[in-house]
Amino acid sequence: MTYQDDQLEELREIVADVLELEPEELSDTGDFMEEYEADSLRAIEILARIDKRFKVEIPQAELPELRNLKAVSAALARHATAQG
Amino acid sequence: MLEHKDVREILPQRYPLLLVDRVLELQPGRSIRTIKAISGTEPCFDGLPEGAERWRFAYPRSLMIESFGQSAALLWLDGRRAPALDDRTLMFAAARGLQFSDFAYPGDVLRHEVRLDSVVADTAFASGETWVGDRRVATIATLIATRRRVAIGPNPSPAPAPSMCRQSEEGQP
Amino acid sequence: MNRVAEAGPATRRHLPDTDPPAVSSLCAIEVVRQERRAQTLSMTVRVRVDGSHLYLRGHFPGLPILPGVFVVETLCQAMAHGAGTGTGRWPALRSVRSLRLQAPLLDGDVLMLEIAARRHPDGGWAVTAEGSRTDGTTSARIRADFDRGDAADA
């Protein structure tokens, strides 16, 4: 697995924990709100956990776009590079 | 260090639900250490039957959580009173991974060690432990609080929305 | 069916008139429904938010709001009632896996808590509960574990 695959899987575990699912139940593109009954507090919790684990701060303004795991992963990659 | 008098000026709760006696240490934005003494004269022990066994005097774990949460609130508020124009209340929104490992009884002093892990979009994430002496009685993986306005008056009709339920929407994220 | 027993006006405490006897004066629950089987327990309990209750006078003065932790307390009292055996310590809260508090409950509201508990192999209980407000809004969700109680010493 590449480094990015590892990170995606770790991200899956974190997001699954917040959404109270098993990691294998969380698909890459499943919409958090539509498919997993998430609300905005859960989205904020995901941001906070990413900040804590990866030391990467994703701006709150991007919250509405964080609709699925793939989008979260992309945001993480985007801001990780920017923040070095 | 903040005495009970100071705690009372910062938090809106009052007797018998103001559950922090004293702040021992505060590192603004990072951590707080508080204590709450448990006494046999607390209202939660009122009405126990004669000959009540020891276990009936275990301090309610719900109140232990509340005491921890108020400590987290003090930390979030930086140990200072909110500005007069701020009519928002700190509300307990969610928690994860609360583990209770021991009971606490009258005569024990709860000591909360709280860390502020992050604040995002007016939502604070805290974690920590509660001790009695060198006995850990509780571990808190995540405690989440939000700052919002609560409307006075009849409840508005439910508006099930993907966002957090709020009493009054005020352009919050 | 269990009812709330009230003392006189001087000591306004609310104690469920239950067997096992008085759990706590924190908040009085009414058991609306209970089904206990060997491995499962399901209950519906009700809590009325009464602004004049001692605890609510302090939370908050002039604006009674049911403290979120009272949802946990309601669950604890329900489990004491439904899963307790009448002798020895009733099952105590061991952990809260997740607690989600949504719609606040104000003076006059009624919290209805639907509880589903399943026995662990070790005798404890895995519990999920969902609370709703008078207007039907979901107010709280909780997943928790209780121990088996009956310990010689808590």
Cα Rg for chain B, rounded, in angstroms?
17
Contact B96 C99 (CB under 8 A): yes
- State the angle between helix axes of A3-19 and A69-83 in degrees (0 to 180), rounded to the nearest 10: 120
* CA distance, residue C114 to nearest chain A CA (Å): 19
A19: nearest CA partner in chain C: C98
- Structural contact between residues C25 and B44, judged by C-beta atoms closer than 8 angstroms: yes
- pLDDT tens string B101-115: 999 999 999 999 999
Residue C4 pLDDT more than 60?
Answer: no
Q: Tell me, what's the pLDDT at B66?
A: 98
* CA distance, residue B118 to nearest chain A CA (Å): 6
Within 78-137 of C, beta carbons closer than 8 Å to B belong to 89, 92-104, 106, 109, 133-137
Q: How far apart are CA A63 and CA A9, in angstroms?
A: 21
Q: Residue A2, class by beta-carbon neighbours within 10 Å (0-12 exposed, 13-18 middle, 19+ buried)?
A: exposed
- pLDDT tens string B29-81: 999 999 999 999 999 998 888 999 999 999 999 999 999 999 999 999 987 87
**Is B157 within a domain?**
no
Residue B161 pLDDT more than 50?
Answer: no
Closest CA to C149 of C83, C91, C94: C91
Phi, then psi, of C122 in degrees rounded to 5: -85, 5
Half-sphere exposure of C92 (CA within 13 A, CB side): 22
Q: How far apart are CA B102 and CA A81, in angstroms?
A: 45
Domain that holds residue B20: 4-148
Q: Which residues in chain C are contacts of B54 at CB distance < 8 A?
A: 153-154
Q: What is the CATH number of the domain that holds B64?
A: 3.10.129.10
Contact A41 B117 (CB under 8 A): no
What sign has the CA pseudo-torsion C8, C10, C11, C14? Answer: positive
In DSSP notation, C59-120 reads SSTTS-B--THHHHHHHHHHHHHHH--SSSPPP-EEEEEEEEE-S--BTT-EEEEEEEEEE-
What's the number of domains chain B is made of?
Answer: 1
> pLDDT category, C48, cuts 50, 70, 90?
very high
Q: Tell me, what's the pLDDT at C16?
A: 43
Closest CA to C83 of C117, C47, C58, C120: C117
Averaged pLDDT, groups of 10, chain A, 84 residues long = 79 94 94 91 93 90 92 91 66
- Structural contact between residues B117 and B141, judged by C-beta atoms closer than 8 angstroms: no
Which of the residues of C are catalytic?
Answer: 59
Beta bridge partners of B135: B132
Contact B164 A33 (CB under 8 A): no
The domains of chain A are located at 3-83
Q: How far apart are CA C60 and CA C82, in angstroms?
A: 31
C141 touches chain A (CB under 8 A): no
B143: nearest CA partner in chain A: A45
% of chain C exceeding 70 in pLDDT: 81
Does the domain spanning A3-83 belong to CATH 1.10.150.120? no
Q: Tell me, what's the pLDDT at B49?
A: 86
**Considering the entire predicted model, what is its pTM?**
0.86
Mean pLDDT of chain B: 86
Q: How far apart are CA B134 and CA B111, in angstroms?
A: 10
Phi, then psi, of C48 in degrees rounded to 5: -95, 130
- pLDDT tens string A6-22: 888 999 999 999 999 99
**Is B128 within a domain?**
yes
Q: Tell me, what's the pLDDT at C65?
A: 94
Half-sphere exposure of B114 (CA within 13 A, CB side): 35
- Structural contact between residues B68 and B76, judged by C-beta atoms closer than 8 angstroms: no
Query: Given the DSSP bridges, would you call strands B31-37 and B22-27 parallel, antiparallel or unpaired?
Result: antiparallel
- Domains, chain C, with CATH or none: 4-146 (3.10.129.10)
The interface predicted TM-score of the complex, written ipTM, equals 0.85
* A neighbour chains, 3+ CB pairs within 8 Å: B, C
B125: nearest CA partner in chain A: A48
* DSSP character at residue B89: E
Q: What angle (nearest 5°) sits at the alpha carbon of residue C51, between those of residues C47 and C53?
A: 75
C11 touches chain A (CB under 8 A): no
Q: How far apart are CA B86 and CA B149, in angstroms?
A: 9
Q: How far apart are CA A46 and CA C79, in angstroms?
A: 32
* DSSP character at residue C58: T
Of B46, B98, B150, the CB nearest to C65: B150
* B neighbour chains, 3+ CB pairs within 8 Å: A, C
